[in-house]
Amino acid sequence: MRCGSFNVRLRSGLPQIAAGITQLYRDFAVLDPADTYVDFEVTVRAPNAMRRHLRPQALLLCDGRIPFKPLPLAQAVPMLEWGLNWVISSHAHDCLVLHAAVVERGGRALVLAADPGSGKSTLCAALVHRGWRLLSDELTLVSLADGTVHPIARPISLKNASIDVVRGLGPDIVLSEVCRDTAKGSVAHMRPPRASVLAMDQRARPAMLVFPRYEAGAALDSRAEGRAHALLELTRHAFNASVLAGEGFDALCRFVEGVHAHRISYASFDQVIPEIDRLWREIE
């Protein structure tokens, strides 16, 4: 299976994985294993024969390594998504890897960087539903060579109350079955738009960086962020800056110098999306 710049070989005999792949990855290219260089080998299986019948579990292996402890079988699909995030962020060192969502319009990228629980993926889903191209809801891969963003338009991860919020965006939204009682609460995934999947070979140039924060009942608060503060904040969201050392810091500096940075607090899509559209028009 092709995921942006990466080819992934997925093996599993679990019906939960088969159903999840069919639903969420139906538009992804299936590659000929005999004629494809594989970047990552990913397997999801039962830990042992006994676990198939007694409190069944799922075990994830990435290139033969076990990054997570076994989880209940019902969490097999979320575990696969977490595993793909882990294997990409741990190995894509030809890029600066940011824990940030990223969408595209007109060949330029809008990056959303925020701590967990800030509404980043929910806002990403809403922007995608309104016509922005999904590049990623979780990992922004910035090329060290030319500064462009590599798309990996995989399913959008949603948690808890955000699941019903995104479900309510429209009848064209396709969500996986809700998986409850995970370490992150209730989890579901939104199928990426077909157009975003088919355009994964089209990179984008970073143009705007937003630090979003959802606050129930709050008035819209939108302000420009200075480059020094933006750099400090973005450093917290860089998975591999320490691995890349000086090269990573230089990449962060180039990224911040090339974008307009803003911090936005909001309570609804009706507040934040028109504000993002306004800011975007100002830089066009």
- CB atoms inside a 10 Å sphere around CB 172: 8
Rounded Cα distance between 137 and 98, Å, is 11
Q: Provide the residue type at 42 as one letter.
A: V
- Mean pLDDT across the chain, nearest whole number? 95
Q: What is the C-alpha to C-alpha distance for residues 146 and 3, in angstroms, rounded to an integer?
A: 20
pLDDT digits (tens, 9 = 90+) for 193-246: 999 999 999 999 999 999 999 999 999 999 999 999 999 999 999 999 999 999
CA distances from 222 to 14, 124, 226 (A): 46, 17, 13
**Cβ atoms of 148 and 135 closer than 8 Å:** no
User: Residue 52's pLDDT is what?
Assistant: 62
pLDDT of residue 55: 81
Q: What is the pLDDT of residue 49?
A: 63
Q: Are 3 and 154 in contact (CB under 8 A)?
A: yes
Domain locations in the chain? 1-91, 93-284
Range in 52-56, 68-72, 134-138 the model is least confident about:
52-56
Alpha-carbon distance 150 to 145, whole Å?
12
**Pair of tokens at residue 1:** 């299976």
Alpha helices in 54-171 (DSSP H): 76-91, 120-129, 161-167
Cα→Cα distances 7→36, 64, 88, 104, 227, Å: 8, 16, 11, 22, 36
The percentage of the chain sitting over the pLDDT mark of 70, rounded to a whole number, equals 98
